[in-house]
Each structure stands twice: as C-alpha cells, then as structure tokens.
Amino acid sequence: MEENKVKCLVWDLDNTLWDGTLLEGDDVELKQNNIHIIKTLDSRGILQSIASKNDYTKAMEKLHDLGLENYFLYPQISWNSKSHSIKRIADSFNIGIDSIAFIDDQPFEREEVKFTHPDVLCIDENNRDCLLDMPEMNPRFITEDSKVRRLMYLSDIERNKQETEFVGPTEEFLASLGMELTISEAQEDDLQRAEELTVRTHQLNTTGYTYSYDELNFFRCSKEHLLLVASLIDRYGTYGKIGLVLIECSIECWNIKLLLMSCRVMSRGVGGVLITHLRNQAKNAGVRLQSEMISNDRNRMMYMTYKFSNFVEKKKNGDLVIFENDLTNIPGFPEYMKVATEYCSE
C-alpha cells in the first residue's frame, strides 16, 4: 500500500504559475502547460492552493482573468513567510502537513519551507513538467469522489461561511442543513473509495490500519466480517462517501477493527451517530461490542468519541487498547440528521 500521496499542491505565482512579476507591472502570462497540469491534478482529486508573496487583490484579479480562481482553495497571498502560509493551508483543509507539496522557482523559499516543515515535498519550478509523472501525484485509484473533491470543498467553504454568519444555537444551524446520513454494506463499486479512505484518513481513524482493494473485497465477501460505508448529503450537495467501518463478527462478540471518517465531517456529529447505529445493531444481534483503538496525537478526537459513547477500556497491549460498550443507555439519533440504512438482509 502506497501512503505517501500528495493531497494538496501549493503553487507560488511569480515565475512559477506564470512568467513575470505581477507587482513590477509585467504582463504576466501562464507558463506553458500549466493549465493542463492544474486540470489534470484536479481530475485526480489533488487539491491545489497558493502561497505567494504578493498583493492579494491584484493576484486574485489576475487569477480570475485567467479563469483559474476556483481551482485554488484557501489561497495565502500576503507578505508572510511561505512556511506560515503552508501551515495555514494545511489547517484550512484539516490535512497533515506531510500530505502537502510546494512548487516555487526560488531556492530560498523552498529551503525556508523545508527547514520549517521537513515533511513537505518541495519541488523546483524547473521540474514542473515532471509533476504529472511523479508517483506522489498519481493516486492508485481515481474514484467518483476524487473527481469532484474540489467541488465538495467549495461547498464546505460555503457551509462554513453560512455557519460563521448564523446567529443561534449550533443545533439550529445543523438542522438547517437538512443532513441525510446513509449507512450501507459495502458493494464492489465502493471498494476503490474504501481503500482511498484508509490511506488518506488519519485524524478521524481509530486504528490507522490501511487495507488494499483485495483485502477489503475479502472482508466484503466474508461471513465473519461486516464492511460498512457511510455517505452524507445536505442542502448544499454531497459530501460523498465519508465513513468506513470494518467489524470482525463472531457468535458472541463484534469487534470494530476500523472506524474512520473524513475530516470534512468532523463538526457534524457523524462519529457519534455512526457509533450509536453500531451499538443498536450489536444489541439487536445479541452480541457484545468491542473496538480496537490505537490512540495517538492525531486521532485524539476518535478516542474522545468512544469515551463519550460509553466505551470503557477492557485491556491494553502496548499501543493497542480494547474498548467495550455495555450497550445500555443508547441515545436516539439527533433530530438534525436523518439516518437511513441499507443492509442486504433488509
């Protein structure tokens, strides 16, 4: 399994994205082949942003004139250091700094970023034409979610804008979204996205286990396992397939081997809803419910989600913690979210 894939490519502007220096009055033009590079990476689900020392208004006007404004999310155009800008971009996307690549024509800027963020892949602009062939820029699968990833983030930006402007309790805003969560048994055409989720998702991931397409297909067909996918929509559109659960099933006990969710739904309460569903399913099946957890600094949110859902530690082996839930006092689903299930036996 290849894990070191780039999730976001950050571009410099002057003499990198375009020829010339904008503030020196140059009639800047896009470098040859850059539109093809940008659109190809976009079609692969690789997000793109900007870290440029420039005048924000003039730079954004130029990007608008070039028809590229909407390809670059959370652009950082200011006089701050490039390392500062890249950190802000990572935080805005809620992705790890180690999943970012940065392309710039200036050795000083690349070195400054590399010194501050050693895990960022820094690329010399002279190697720009090799971008599309780099292994880090070629995901194993291009899924339906990948193809529209940028559009889903644009929807997220609009949601977040509305949330910031909303006056009232959080529950009222969530209710205004009209969210519908669907939990279903994984089908064969879900497996590429399922593999992608295990590789890409680190923060809202209980164990960090990664599984290949073939491994996931084995679990999908196995009578001793249950593989579930979750998808979410609201009035702004689809979030895509945002959750994955792998359960090892025995006659007496279900053991959650993996539970993960896209970071884009962190603030929507999906984790608690998904766990409530699993608690109900285990209770109805008359089995105990356990879960594996490998806690680290990045997935602290998942640890707390388990604790808030009344999971207690039963044993510990090194970094591996075994939780168990007594399946009592299971709450109902929140009023702000409609939950639908699709099981083969239904």
What DSSP letter does each residue of 70-117 carry, written as one string?
GGS-S-EEESS-HHHHHHHHHHHHT--GGGEEEEES-HHHHHHHHHH-
Tell me what pLDDT residue 95 has. 86
> Residue 80: CB partners within 8 Å, gap ≥ 6?
53
Q: Are 45 and 8 in contact (CB under 8 A)?
A: no
Tell me what pLDDT residue 345 has. 55
Taking the mean position of all CA atoms in its chain, how far away is CA 288? Answer: 31
Tell the burial category of 235 from Cβ atoms under 10 Å away from its Cβ (0-12, 13-18, 19+): exposed
End-to-end CA distance of the chain: 34
Report pTM: 0.80
Euclidean distance between CA atoms 73 and 60, whole angstroms:
12
List of the chain residues with pLDDT < 50 = 1-2, 346
Euclidean distance between CA atoms 128 and 126, whole angstroms:
6
Count of C-beta atoms within a 10 Å radius of residue 196: 22
**pLDDT tens, 243-253?**
999 999 999 99
Euclidean distance between CA atoms 112 and 126, whole angstroms:
18
Count of C-beta atoms within a 10 Å radius of residue 219: 20
Q: Are 341 and 277 in contact (CB under 8 A)?
A: yes
Please report which helix (H) or strand (E) contains residue 284, including its range. Answer: helix 270-285
Residue 248: closest CA among 301, 298, 191, 209: 209
Q: Are 101 and 90 in contact (CB under 8 A)?
A: no
Tell me what pLDDT residue 141 has. 84
Domains (range + CATH), the chain: 8-137 (3.40.50.1000), 146-342 (3.40.630.30)
Euclidean distance between CA atoms 144 and 229, whole angstroms:
15
